[in-house]
Chain A
Amino acid sequence: MDSPLQRAPDTVAGPVAGPESPHFADGVVPDDVDTGAAGTAGAAGTAASTRRLRALLRRPTFVISALIVAWWIAAALTWHLFGLNPYTSTGTLNAPPSWAQPFGTDYLGRSVFARTMAGADSALAVGPLGSVLATLLGGALGVIAGYFRGWVDTALMRVFDVLVVLPPLIFLIVVVGAFGASTPALIVIIGVVFAPGIARIIRAAVLAEMGKKYVTTAKVQGESAVRIMTTELVPNVLPTVIIQATLSLSAAILLTATLSFLGLGWQPPSPDWGLTISENLGYLESAWWTVLAPAFAVASLVVATQLIADNIKEVSS
């Protein structure tokens, strides 16, 4: 499985350009070809996207995973609309699951169901924005490195080499210790941590595209570097970008839960899943439900996002 935490090969890692990419023989642009072929390519791209979406929707693992992610997103956005209170005591400490409390209660008598639902809020507060930032940052740098090559590529790659070999969790602990664990800080830190891995993979995908005639054609037509990168290259490496964004989302959720587990993320009495697991570990024997529910929540969200990425990857290739 690809992961933004893994070192990416310098060769192509993502899907190569699809059939929608304009191809011209030997780099010669025929006179009758509309050199502003974006319209044709755009229509072909839309059709391909529709085909991919249909293919994805035929895959049970994708559909189930998407439903799980949608469930947690809905929980994060709406838990407070259903009268759930993750902070107040229900009166009974460490009560086992029952009809009244389907996930039982914890050591302060709080509803584990309410805390698990509300925990989606903090789980999804950092991961999505952090992975979006990482994808934008890594994607942009990867495209720049792959397009310009030369000293720009060398300089960026050597910096990424250094960043990629740093163990993410240890790096994160040090940075959080220095700058704190506020939500904006965590989003930026996650973005910076995951960007190098994404950049390396996007760069490899761009390198594969650079040998294709549509890029050469665009250059011959005198298109600017920015235009070529944004309108020619990015659409062709977009599936790779989406896969990396999804994988980084999964890793970001796990990493922020780990930080909270270690006491470096959300503060009590937050229902954050990692924090809740940490708080209730001492009760693992006597009140296993207090640990199982948030652990299952983390696992379900991480597995679902990973499966979504895997499905997109397979359909794209």
Chain B
Amino acid sequence: MKLSTLRRTSGLAFFAAVALTLAACSSSSSSSPATPPATSPSSPAASPSAPASGSAAASGGVYNIGLITPEGNIDPLTTANFNTMFIVGLASAQLIIESPTGKLEPQLATSWTPSANKLSWTIALRPGLKFSNGQSLTANDVVSTFNSIISPKSQSPAQSSFAGIVKSVAASPDGQSVIFTLDQPYSDFPYLLTGANTWVLPAGFNANNWINDPVGAGQFILQKYTAGEGVTYTKNPYYWDASAVKLSGIDAKFYSDDQSELLAFQAGQIDQITSDPTVVAALGTNYRQEREGYAKFDGLVFNVTKAPFNSQNVRQAVAWALNRQAIVQTAYSGDATVGDDYATFPDYGVQPQGVPVREQNDAKVKQLLDGQTISFTITTYQGEQTLAELVQQELDATGSFNVKLDVMTEAAYYAGTTVSPWLDAPVTITDWADRLPAQLYSLMYAAGSSWNASHYADSQLGTLNTEYEATTSSTQRQSLANQIAQIEWTDVPVIITAFMENDIYLSNAVQGTFPNGQDFSGGFDFRGISVAS
């Protein structure tokens, strides 16, 4: 063979193999056909009525962040994806936010007070609020927003958080407050107002067209959205605490995958990156790390209507077979707290007591299974692949299980509304964001919940949760929390191996400390943050 032929042949094949290897290293700039075109809303900063404090305090530079390229339309009422929530959250505000320690912080509201019978809550609004277009933000806007969420026709994921709890929403006679009337007493009601999709929008606003007319009351104004490329924001001079916002703007760039985002962070193109095992492995401890509460847990969900998972013994056997400490170290790089199969985040005020911590116990597994070998498939999506592989590895190592994996794309996993892989497969792994225990109960465990992927139902658990939210006695709440956790732990429809912390790596140019978490409950709060030039 001629040398030139050999070179050409080898070169082509080598190129092909290397192309496979490096494909994900490139950041795609392709636009999603489903995303709207670039928009350029008029900036109120240019308005003659814009307050002077906005520009005066905006000397903290432009903060650069990376987001995974969002798909589909961006609607504040219906978005359920972290990246699109980030895009909306920077330009929007809620009534109340939750600090990383679980404490409620005022935002558009200044106070929240229950009625004597605890069947209504009065939320006092901050005086002089304005949207980013200069329009006043009134109680009617809040009422309109929440009516859109709780409407029977609502497509908002937040609807399920308020279903069976909020009966109606109305403005107070003086227009300074909003009154939420409840179906039943609910002590943690203000926490529901920190939930996803509760950003206040102008009354009569078409949320479906938000990306083309991105009005909000957040810290920043969305100036330009370019599909497939990114979003630029400038400081919102009408934000209620504008003087605390030091940044002049935020520049969000879209990346096709985590690896591209990591390379951009290392190259100094973005100022922060969310921690995960690949990031930790690549960055080590050379960067400033900030922890902001808990982000999520990844639940191993059993469909209890399908054999063999209709057997409590089988579900418990799986739970006892897992080495949770190893999962925390391997799947979360240590940035997580070991879970114990009840849905209470470690930062919640009332922590269940008296529930034994499950540690890997092969003898117990064999006893529960009576020597049988259980074969099943775990269905999940690519974002959970590492955890799924680790769970499979640990279960197979016991010799009592023969586990296969079905790892789908995220779109395929969540496809469909009533029939969907994540809702119907025998065993799934699905991530759940930080919520109240009662919220998690109503979404995950309650009979009839459209997100109850385990199809589990227990009337006693429902009664205990209702009693828990109806009482304000700390002693009684502790007792009820213990009983709730014990039932969830014993019946184990969902295994919660770990609660993942919300850790981010920051470039050395970033100054200041984030006051609240970078998630919907923390309000995507950039107050006090600046970037050194």
A297 to B109 alpha-carbon distance, docked (Å): 61
A303 to B12 alpha-carbon distance, docked (Å): 8
Contact call A267/B259, Cβ cutoff below 8 A: no
A285 to B390 alpha-carbon distance, docked (Å): 22
Contact call A281/B389, Cβ cutoff below 8 A: no
Q: Contacts A284-B259, A299-B18; is A278 near B397 (CB within 8 Å)?
A: no
Contact call B14/A303, Cβ cutoff below 8 A: yes
B-side contacts of A268, CB under 8 Å: 385, 388-389, 392, 405, 407
Contact call A1/B21, Cβ cutoff below 8 A: no
Q: Is A59 an interface residue (CB 8 A)?
A: yes
Contact call B20/A261, Cβ cutoff below 8 A: yes
Give the Cβ gap from B397 to chain A, nearest Cβ, in Å.
6
A-side contacts of B382, CB under 8 Å: 263
Contact call B404/A267, Cβ cutoff below 8 A: yes
Q: Is A75 an interface residue (CB 8 A)?
A: no
Q: Is A153 an interface residue (CB 8 A)?
A: no
A263 to B411 alpha-carbon distance, docked (Å): 13
Q: Which segment, of A16-24, A46-54, A223-231, A305-313, faces chain B?
A: A305-313
Contact call B405/A269, Cβ cutoff below 8 A: yes
Q: Which segment, of A28-36, A86-94, A112-120, A133-141, faces chain B?
A: A86-94
A311 to B6 alpha-carbon distance, docked (Å): 10
Contact call B20/A257, Cβ cutoff below 8 A: yes
Q: Is B25 an interface residue (CB 8 A)?
A: yes
Contact call A277/B20, Cβ cutoff below 8 A: yes
Q: Is B330 an interface residue (CB 8 A)?
A: yes
Contact call A285/B396, Cβ cutoff below 8 A: no
B-side contacts of A157, CB under 8 Å: none
Q: Is A12 an interface residue (CB 8 A)?
A: no
Contact call A88/B17, Cβ cutoff below 8 A: no
Complex interface residues of chain A between 258 and 308 (CB less than 8 A to chain B): 258, 261, 263, 267-269, 274, 277-279, 281-287, 291, 295-296, 298-299, 302-303, 306-307
Contact call B407/A263, Cβ cutoff below 8 A: yes
Contact call A87/B396, Cβ cutoff below 8 A: yes
B-side contacts of A274, CB under 8 Å: 20
Q: Contacts A87-B393, A287-B281; is A282 near B18 (CB within 8 Å)?
A: no
B-side contacts of A62, CB under 8 Å: 1
Residue among A61, A108, A257 making CB contact with B330, cutoff 8 Å:
A108
Chain A residue at smallest Cβ distance from B9: A306
Contact call A295/B20, Cβ cutoff below 8 A: yes
Contact call A267/B407, Cβ cutoff below 8 A: yes
Q: Contacts A268-B385, A302-B17, A303-B10; is A314 near B278 (CB within 8 Å)?
A: no
A261 to B397 alpha-carbon distance, docked (Å): 27
Contact call B278/A283, Cβ cutoff below 8 A: yes
B-side contacts of A160, CB under 8 Å: none
Q: Is A254 an interface residue (CB 8 A)?
A: yes
A302 to B10 alpha-carbon distance, docked (Å): 9
B-side contacts of A258, CB under 8 Å: 20
Total residues of chain A contacting the partner, CB 8 A: 44
B-side contacts of A269, CB under 8 Å: 389, 392-393, 405
B-side contacts of A236, CB under 8 Å: none
Q: Is B406 an interface residue (CB 8 A)?
A: yes
A227 to B282 alpha-carbon distance, docked (Å): 65
A267 to B281 alpha-carbon distance, docked (Å): 24
Complex interface residues of chain B between 360 and 413 (CB less than 8 A to chain A): 382, 385-386, 388-390, 392-393, 396-397, 404-407, 409
- B 1-40 to A, binary, CB cutoff 8 A, 1 in contact else 0: 1000110111011101110110111000000000000000
Give the Cβ gap from A6 to chain B, nearest Cβ, in Å.
12
Give the Cβ gap from B98 to chain A, nearest Cβ, in Å.
31
Q: Is A250 an interface residue (CB 8 A)?
A: yes
Contact call A310/B9, Cβ cutoff below 8 A: yes
Contact call B23/A261, Cβ cutoff below 8 A: yes
Contact call A303/B9, Cβ cutoff below 8 A: yes
Complex interface residues of chain A between 145 and 181 (CB less than 8 A to chain B): none
Contact call B281/A94, Cβ cutoff below 8 A: yes
Q: Is B277 an interface residue (CB 8 A)?
A: yes
- A 229-264 to B, binary, CB cutoff 8 A, 1 in contact else 0: 000000000000000000000100010011001010
Q: Is B262 an interface residue (CB 8 A)?
A: yes
Contact call A307/B6, Cβ cutoff below 8 A: yes
Contact call B397/A88, Cβ cutoff below 8 A: yes
A-side contacts of B20, CB under 8 Å: 254, 257-258, 261, 274, 277, 295, 298
A94 to B282 alpha-carbon distance, docked (Å): 11
Q: Contacts A1-B9, A314-B1; is A295 near B407 (CB within 8 Å)?
A: no
Chain A residue at smallest Cβ distance from B388: A268
A-side contacts of B386, CB under 8 Å: 107-108
Chain B residue at smallest Cβ distance from A255: B16
Contact call B9/A307, Cβ cutoff below 8 A: yes
Question: Which of A59, A109, A299 counts the most B-chain CB atoms under 10 A from its CB?
Answer: A299
Give the Cβ gap from A315 to chain B, nearest Cβ, in Å.
9
Give the Cβ gap from A281 to chain B, nearest Cβ, in Å.
5
Complex interface residues of chain A between 57 and 84 (CB less than 8 A to chain B): 59, 61-62
A261 to B330 alpha-carbon distance, docked (Å): 23
A-side contacts of B1, CB under 8 Å: 59, 61-62, 307, 310-311, 314
Q: Is B258 an interface residue (CB 8 A)?
A: yes
14 contacts between A and B (CB under 8 A): A61-B6, A62-B1, A88-B397, A93-B330, A108-B389, A109-B330, A258-B20, A274-B20, A284-B25, A285-B281, A285-B282, A286-B282, A291-B21, A303-B13
Known: A263-B382, A269-B389. 15 other contacts (CB 8 A): A1-B12, A87-B396, A257-B20, A261-B20, A261-B23, A263-B409, A267-B406, A268-B388, A278-B24, A282-B259, A283-B278, A302-B16, A306-B9, A307-B10, A314-B1
Going nearest first, the 8 A-B pairs with the smallest beta carbon separation are A282-B278, A299-B17, A286-B281, A303-B13, A302-B13, A295-B21, A285-B282, A298-B17
